[in-house]
Amino acid sequence: MRSWRLASRAVAVYRATQTTGSALRPLPSTVLPSQIQNQDGVCRPMSTALLMHRDKPGNSVKDDWDFSPENTERVKEILSNYPKNYKQSASIPLLDLAQQQHGGWIPVQAMNRIAQIIGVAPIRVYEVATFYSMFNRQPVGKYHLMVCGTTPCMLCGSREIEDALLKHLGVTRGEVTKDGLFSVGEMECMGCCVNAPMIVVADYSKGSEGYSYNYYEDLTPKRVVELVQELRQGKTPKWGTQNPKRINCGPEGGNTTLLTTPKPPVCRDLDAC
């Protein structure tokens, strides 16, 4: 999260200070952080998050948006997990549900509807949706592929993984393929460093009922392209490690330590007290 905020700040500073000679030359508002390059045109892209709302067809305050009847039931279920005077605690699960229902991204009216449901000012929902990079404020592919860009994955080849994906799909980061099937984004550490490099596939192809969010680990540029091909054929590739010599997070060739069943912890005999 911190790196996302730093990236956002970098964009704000960049927008404010980019100059040509002495004249200020602000970036067009349509430029995404992912498209920023340095003077040599070789800077790594940053976050894929959209920083500000621009009313446009399909994402306008004039649109109607509501949860589907099935999801309205799920909204009630989610709200029941929180005290009645803390309904705002449900903002993240409700945004997640809205994103699943809306094909992987959250239009402004979905945020406004959530604000109405939980009884807060819309800005409170906007703040959450734009802070967390797992919420998309612009359309993504039916399969949104997020490459982990944090140090352990980067050292194990995540940049090559991303380059292979972008090259195979013919897109830039944040862009959706012409058939609407794929987009590529970046996430920070997803807690799977021991199996680096890894990506997550958020599958919005089956609506909120069939939504899945699977990790694919121990990737190579070749294997990640094969994954895309399998997804394109409508298959769900086996998630987890893609190294056939490993079981889950265990070492190649089997365990070398902790070979016996550990003893249970010593418990107090409460009856003897």
Rule CB under 6 A: which residues touch ligand FES? 148, 150, 152-153, 189-193, 196, 198
CB nearer to ligand FES: pick between 110 and 190:
190
Cβ atoms of 61 and 108 closer than 8 Å: yes
Neighbours of 101 (CB within 10 A): 22
CB nearer to ligand FES: pick between 67 and 216:
216
Least Å distance, CB 196 to ligand FES, is 5
CB nearer to ligand FES: pick between 191 and 253:
191
Rounded to 5 degrees, what angle do the CA atoms 61, 203, 213 make? 105
Least Å distance, CB 4 to ligand FES, is 15
State residue 147 phi and psi, 5-degree precision: -90, 130
Least Å distance, CB 205 to ligand FES, is 24
DSSP letter at 108? H
CB nearer to ligand FES: pick between 193 and 228:
193
Measured on CA atoms in the order 13, 16, 20, 23, is the torsion positive or negative? negative
Least Å distance, CB 159 to ligand FES, is 12
Least Å distance, CB 119 to ligand FES, is 37
Cβ atoms of 165 and 228 closer than 8 Å: yes
Assign 56 to helix, strand or coil: strand
Contacts 24+ apart (CB under 8 A), 28-32: 29/54, 30/54, 32/174
Burial level of 127, CB count in 10 A (0-12/13-18/19+)?
middle
CB nearer to ligand FES: pick between 122 and 250:
250
CB nearer to ligand FES: pick between 148 and 228:
148
DSSP H or E segment with residue 48: none
- 130 CB-near residues (< 8 Å, 6+ apart): 49, 50, 51, 137
CB nearer to ligand FES: pick between 161 and 176:
161
Least Å distance, CB 193 to ligand FES, is 3
Least Å distance, CB 75 to ligand FES, is 31
